[in-house]
Chain A
Amino acid sequence: MTGGSASFTSASAVEIAALIGAGEASAVEVTQAHLDRIESEDGALHAFLRVDTDGALSAAQAVDDRRAAGEPLGPLAGVPLALKDVVVTKGLETTSGSRILVGWIPPYDATITTRIKAAGIVILGKTNMDEFAMGSSTENSGFGPSHNPWDLDRIPGGSSGGSSAAVAGCLAPLGIGTDTGGSIRQPAAVTGLVGHKPTYGGVSRYGLIAFSSSLDQAGPFGRTVLDTALLHEAIAGHDPADSTSIPMPVPAVVAAACEGAGGDLSGLRIGVVRELGGQGFTDGYEPGVLSSVAAAIDVLAGLGAEIVEVSCPHFGYALAAYYLIAPSEASSNLARFDAVRYGLRVGDDGVRGLDEVMALTRQAGFGAEVKRRIMIGTYALSSGYYEAYYGQAQKVRTLISRDFAAAFESADVLVSPSTPTVAFPLGARTDDPLAMYAADLCTLPASLAGTPAISVPSGLSEGLPVGLQIMAPALADDRCYRVAAAVESALDSDRGHPLLHELPSRS
C-alpha cells in the first residue's frame, strides 16, 4: 500500500488502522479521502442523508493527536464509518429516515455512538434508511432511495441500505445497521458485504429510535469478515442503560474470524434448513441464488464440515408472525411522535385541539408504509382480535424458537440463502407490500428467536451478489464469524480476489 486517496478508500479497516498505527498515514488524510469520495460518488448512490465533515475531521485529528502523544490506539482508531440514521448522535441531526423528525438534534448519544467514538472510529455521517427501519429497499425513506453500487437502478437492500451502499461503494470501510427482520443481513447480501445481526441483547439498544423493541438489534457491516468482527467487538457488551442488554462477556468474534480464515472446519456440523430454499420449498427463490448458496455449502464440506439437512417446520409461519408482532410493537413505539416533545407539529393554529394536531402531524410526517404498519398493529392489538392475531403470533414465535433448539441438537450452525433473490430493480415492489415483505423470508426466523446470524457473500448470480446466511444459537455469535471467515477465505482464494473487486464502479 503506497498511500493516495484511492487506495485509502479501497483498503480494509484493518489495513487502514495499520497504516495509521504505523504513522504511514494520518487519520485526517484517510478521513479526507473518504469525504472526497463521498463528494464525487454520493450524488449517484445517495447513501448519506448528511455528511458531518467538521465532526469527522475533528474526530480524525483527535486520533492523530493521541498517536502523536504516544497514547495507545484501539484496533480501529482513525477508521471511518457510516452510521445508520436510526442511531442518535448528540448535536447531529437524526431522522430515522422520517420527515416527522426533520431538524431534530438529539441532546444525547446512543450507547453505540459513545462506543464508536471511544474506539477512535470516525463517524463520516448518517446514512439513509427505510423510514423507522420499515422496509427492505430504502424506498420507504422520507428522503428518496439509495442505489446499489453494483447497479444504480437496483435497490441496495433495506432498511440499512444507506450503510450497505456506502460500504460497498467504498464511501466508508465500515457501517452500522440495525436488523429487526433482516435489515442488516439482506442489504449485506445484495451489495456483496458481510453483515451480522448479533444475539438479541448483545448490543445496546439505548439511543436507537425504536421500531419493534423485542426484535431490534444493531450490528456491523464490513467488506471483510475480520473488519466486521472488529466493529462488532467495538460496539457490543452489556449496557446498564438498556435493561434487555445481556450481562455476559462479548463472544470472541475476532478470534473466531481469525480461526475460521485458517480454513479447517473438521468436526463442525452444518445444518441446511430444508424450509429455506430446500427441496419442496423453492417458491420465490431464484435458481441462481440457490445454486450459489449450494456451491458455498460444497466449499464448507470441502473444508471438513459435516453437512446435514435439518427441518424447521414452523419457519414457514415466520413471515406471518413477524408482520403481526413488528407492526404491533411499532404502533405502540411510534405513539411517541405526538407533536409535543420533538419533531414536526402541523395545524397548531390555536383553535385545533391536541388530538387533531397530532393526527395532522402524523399524516404529514409519516410515509405510507409506516401508516400501514401502525394501522395493522392497531388492528392486531385491538380487543377482540388480540388473541387471534398478536397472541397467536407470539405462540408461533415460541414454536420457531423450539425448531431452532431441535435443529441445533444435530448441527452447530444452520445455513440458508440470506434473501431469496438478488437485488431487485428500484420500483419493482413498491406497490405490493407483500412482495416487499418476501425479501425477509430467510432472515425472519433468527429475528424472532433472537439468535445471531451473519450474511457473507457466496458469489454472483446474473452479475449481482448473493449472500449465504449462517445462523448460530444465542450467544454463539463467534460460530457465525468462524464459518463466514472460512467461506470468505476459501472463495477469495478460488477466485483469486475478493468478490467486491468485481464491482464495476470500484476505484
Chain B
Amino acid sequence: MAGRPSTLEELSLHDRHCMTAISRDDVAHLAHLARLAVTEQELDLFAGQLDVILASVAHVADVAADDIPPTTHAVPLTNITRPDVIGPSLHPQDVLAAAPAAEGGRFRVPRILNEPA
C-alpha cells in the first residue's frame, strides 16, 4: 500500500482531483453519452454530487498497483461451450406484448435516421 501516487498517470489523476471540479458542461456531456435528458436543476445538482463522488473514488490511485493484473471477475472464466441442442424459445407474441409499441409482428421504433418519417 502506497500513500502517494507513484506514476505520472496517477499523479495527473491525483492533481486533477485536487484542482478540477466537474462542471455543468461535463454533466451535460456525460448525460448525452448515456442518453439521459437532464433538466437545468439536475445539471446543478449532479455537478456537485458527481464531483464529490469522483474525488472520493479517485482514492484508488493511492494504491501502487502498476505490476498487478486486473481482476475482471471473481471467478476466472474461460469460454463456456455446450452442445448445440434446440431448446424452448419465447413466443414472439409474448415478447412483443411487453414492448411499448409493436406493429406487424415487430418492435416499432421511433425514427432512426435524420430525416422526418
Chain A contacts to B: CB under 8 angstroms? 104-108, 200-201, 214-215, 240, 243-244, 246, 313-314, 317, 319-321, 323-324, 331, 335, 338-345, 348, 350-360, 362-363, 366, 368, 371-372, 374-376, 378-380, 382, 387-389, 391-399, 401, 433-434, 448-451, 474
Per a CB cutoff under 8 Å, which of A105, A357, A371, A394 touches B72? A394
B61 within 8 A of A: yes
Q: Is there an interface contact between A392 and B56, defined as CB atoms closer than 8 Å?
A: no
Bound CA–CA A350/B101 (angstroms): 12
- Min C-beta distance of A396 to chain B, whole Å: 5
Total B residues in contact with A, Cβ cutoff 8 Å: 62
Q: Is there an interface contact between A396 and B46, defined as CB atoms closer than 8 Å?
A: no
Q: Is there an interface contact between A388 and B13, defined as CB atoms closer than 8 Å?
A: yes
Q: Is there an interface contact between B35 and A362, defined as CB atoms closer than 8 Å?
A: yes
| Chain B stretch 86-117: residues in CB contact (< 8 A) with chain A | 90-91, 94-95, 97-101, 107, 109-114, 116-117
Q: Is there an interface contact between A449 and B60, defined as CB atoms closer than 8 Å?
A: no
Known: A317-B59, A320-B59. Is A108-B34 also a contact (CB below 8 A)? no
Q: Is there an interface contact between A372 and B46, defined as CB atoms closer than 8 Å?
A: yes
Known: A313-B1, A317-B62, A362-B37. Is A104-B98 also a contact (CB below 8 A)? yes
Determine the chain A residues whose CB is within 8 A of the CB of B32 once the complex forms. 359
Determine the chain B residues whose CB is within 8 A of the CB of A357 once the complex forms. 110
- Min C-beta distance of A274 to chain B, whole Å: 13
Pairs across A and B, CB under 8 Å, 18 listed: A104-B98, A314-B63, A317-B60, A339-B100, A341-B95, A341-B98, A351-B111, A371-B38, A378-B34, A388-B9, A389-B57, A391-B70, A393-B60, A394-B71, A395-B71, A398-B71, A401-B71, A450-B75
Bound CA–CA A366/B35 (angstroms): 12
Per a CB cutoff under 8 Å, which of A343, A344, A372, A396 touches B65? A396
Determine the chain B residues whose CB is within 8 A of the CB of A392 once the complex forms. 10, 60-61, 63, 65
B63-75 Cβ-contact flags toward A at 8 Å (1 or 0): 1010011111111
Query: Which residue on chain A has the smallest CB distance to residue B94?
Result: A107
Per a CB cutoff under 8 Å, which of B31, B36, B57, B107 touches A320? B57
Chain B contacts to A: CB under 8 angstroms? 1, 9-10, 12-13, 27, 30-39, 42, 45-46, 49-50, 52-54, 56-63, 65, 68-75, 77, 80, 82, 90-91, 94-95, 97-101, 107, 109-114, 116-117
